[in-house]
Structure 1
Amino acid sequence: MFCRVGKTLFAFSQIPLPGSAQSVTVRCLFAQTSMGIDGYIKTRERIKVQFLNLADNFRSKMLEFTNPTSNNMIFTEDLKSMVHLVENKPEDVELLQNMISRFNRQNKELRFGSFIFGPVVMRAFHYLNAPQVALKLFKDPELDGFFDQLVSYQVLMDLLYKNSMYKEVLEVFDIIQGKQIHGPKYPKNVVILAMASCYKMNTKEYLDYAMNAWKKMLELGHTPVRRAVTFAAALAINQNSPHIALEILSCTQHPNYITVRNLKVAALADLGRASDALPILRHIIETDVPEQTKQTFTMDVFDKLKRAVNENGNQDLVKEFRNIEHCLREGGHISDKVLDEHLCSEITVPNLPGRQMDDRNRAGFQDSLHQKPQYNYRNAPPRHYRQSLKDME
């Protein structure tokens, strides 16, 4: 079985690549709510009100303090504010980058805050749709460790995916594998985005890449989640490897889910085993409950199976298929959507890894908006102290 795969299953035949059936519309794979961007946007709105008449003064101060000749420090509250005030303007983005670099270089003995900046910075770049800047900072050796949170990885990879930067998604995925982070070596949302990018690129090279990653995950005891399973299986089908797709699909515990069901039918059709797909169709008819959500087959998968049945030439099979088709159409079980729409549908799971820490980050930040900033030093030289904008109010 592919869930406990042997090496021989990774030897693919050299078959000419089929035409891509990918959707031309690219969007985020994860919903804003599942990445915490909704919370980031709400905080931005509150910060804009708080800094209504101070934003320009604040930016000027930060430009002065990030000057290489300046001895002033960038405090935690400064960076918190700027990451929520930043606008989609080159000068603002550059200022934020310089503040992050300055903040990270400062003597660590002078910082005792528990605020984790990686996720909120990545959300800011996602909001601004600035994938190149986000990737540049992630790969900056001077910021090593700054973005080492599962949420930061997910938000960055989703931003790259949104901008069709699929090779860069896999570049980030490879970098993550080389890091020693707390938690699983193959975080589920990171794996989903990697498999989705392989699916989007739809080549033999990236099928091999996906299967090699899959093998490593299984060797470490990781079982990929359904969305990763369906992207990998769909890629295998698109690359004329339906036998691999069937083995991948055997890993999921959700055989009746719409994408799993359709992919299995498509794989059987491509293998010339149309008769083995008919029980799947009959099951939908037999278990139809009017008050429940309709279980359906997408029009492209159903058409593929219909062609396979006709090409088989077995008249008994053709007759049985026509009877089943009549029942499916009458019951509304054939949709007008294509499989790609379901595969790439937005993921809206609200509880993402690290969200609890992010909520504490936000709670602490909101409290700080209503009190004078108190900086915690350990024998910090007096020359580092300066008035903040809150002191100037």
Structure 2
Amino acid sequence: MSNNQVKLRGLYCFIALAIRQNHPNIALEILQNMNLKSMNIIIQSLRLLALARINRLNDVAEIIQFQLNKDKPNKHQIIFNDIIAEIQMIIEKSDKKELIEKINSLVKRLQESNMIETKRTLDDAIMSTIHFQRRKFRSQSTDENDDDTSEQQQRPRQQWNR
């Protein structure tokens, strides 16, 4: 309820912890209340895993189907391989043959479209090193005016010191 912004890395860890401690409903509630502009691979994987853990397997299939049917020329990876394996394991325990076949065909289509991240796991992605890039706030055209600005900024200091 506060206006403080929570860092995404902390949120990812919290959601993953909720799922691992058998509280996927809490994870889903947090994911639904997040105001995100885009659904990245970590959030998508956590969402699918939480849905699978509470046996909303039809929703899992619908989300994967939706991602496959998007009209984007650049297909990007939407889920981690370890999450796919866990979802398949959960579905196999459900004994719903139609759903098992549907999910397996969707997974095959994901693999063919190269939409499964195979180089990293979800944990690797969450705990990966954060790399910062410095931004240039001023362009070269404003650098010429820096001398004037710095002189103006120094004048009040000089007056203050008197």
Provide the TM-score with structure 2 as the length reference.
0.72
Question: Which residue of the partner structure matches residue 264 of structure 1?
Answer: 47
Contact map agreement 2:75 2:115 (CA 8 A) in 1:
no
Alignment of 1:303 with 2:85, yes or no, is yes
Match for residue 341 of structure 1 among 114, 119, 124: 124
Match for residue 9 of structure 2 among 227, 230, 253: 227
**1:288-327 map, 5 Å:** 289-290=72-73, 292=74, 294-327=76-109
How many Å separate the matches in 2 of 1:249 and 1:223?
A: 15
- Percent identity over paired residues: 26
Note the C-alpha offset of 1:279: 1.8
Contact map agreement 2:75 2:113 (CA 8 A) in 1:
no
Cα deviations by residue, 1:254-301 (Å, 9 ceiling, x for unpaired): 4521100000011111111121111221122112645x3622311111
**1:73-222 map, 5 Å:** 218=1, 220-222=2-4
Alignment of 1:328 with 2:100, yes or no, is no
Cα deviations by residue, 1:333-362 (Å, 9 ceiling, x for unpaired): 12222101111122234469xxxxxxxxxx
Note the C-alpha offset of 1:330: 0.9
How many Å separate the matches in 2 of 1:261 and 1:274?
A: 15
**1:67-78 map, 5 Å:** none
Note the C-alpha offset of 1:327: 0.7
Contact map agreement 1:233 1:248 (CA 8 A) in 2:
yes
How many Å separate the matches in 2 of 1:312 and 1:254?
A: 34
Contact map agreement 1:265 1:277 (CA 8 A) in 2:
yes
Contact map agreement 1:232 1:248 (CA 8 A) in 2:
no
How many Å separate the matches in 1 of 2:90 and 2:21?
A: 18
The residue type equivalent to 1:318 in the other structure is I
Contact map agreement 1:254 1:260 (CA 8 A) in 2:
no
The residue type equivalent to 2:4 in the other structure is H
How well do the aligned residues superpose, as a CA RMSD in angstroms? 2.3
Note the C-alpha offset of 1:232: 0.9
The count of aligned residue pairs is: 134
The residue type equivalent to 2:126 in the other structure is L
How many Å separate the matches in 2 of 1:305 and 1:231?
A: 20
| Distance change >3 Å, CA 280–CA 247, structure 1 → 2 | same
State the secondary structure of the residue aligned to 1:263.
helix
Note the C-alpha offset of 1:252: 4.0
Provide the TM-score with structure 1 as the length reference.
0.32
How many Å separate the matches in 2 of 1:344 and 1:267?
A: 19
| Distance change >3 Å, CA 342–CA 254, structure 1 → 2 | farther
How many Å separate the matches in 1 of 2:38 and 2:95?
A: 29
Note the C-alpha offset of 1:244: 1.0
Cα deviations by residue, 1:306-326 (Å, 9 ceiling, x for unpaired): 112111212221121122112
| Distance change >3 Å, CA 262–CA 348, structure 1 → 2 | same
The residue type equivalent to 1:343 in the other structure is I
**1:53-64 map, 5 Å:** none
Alignment of 1:276 with 2:67, yes or no, is no
Question: Which residue of the partner structure matches residue 69 of structure 2?
Answer: 286
| Distance change >3 Å, CA 348–CA 288, structure 1 → 2 | farther
Contact map agreement 2:92 2:100 (CA 8 A) in 1:
yes
The residue type equivalent to 1:283 in the other structure is F
Contact map agreement 1:298 1:335 (CA 8 A) in 2:
yes
- Which stretches in structure 2 are left out of the alignment for 5+ residues? 136-162
How many Å separate the matches in 1 of 2:84 and 2:76?
A: 16
Contact map agreement 1:284 1:295 (CA 8 A) in 2:
no
How many Å separate the matches in 1 of 2:37 and 2:17?
A: 19
How many Å separate the matches in 1 of 2:128 and 2:72?
A: 25
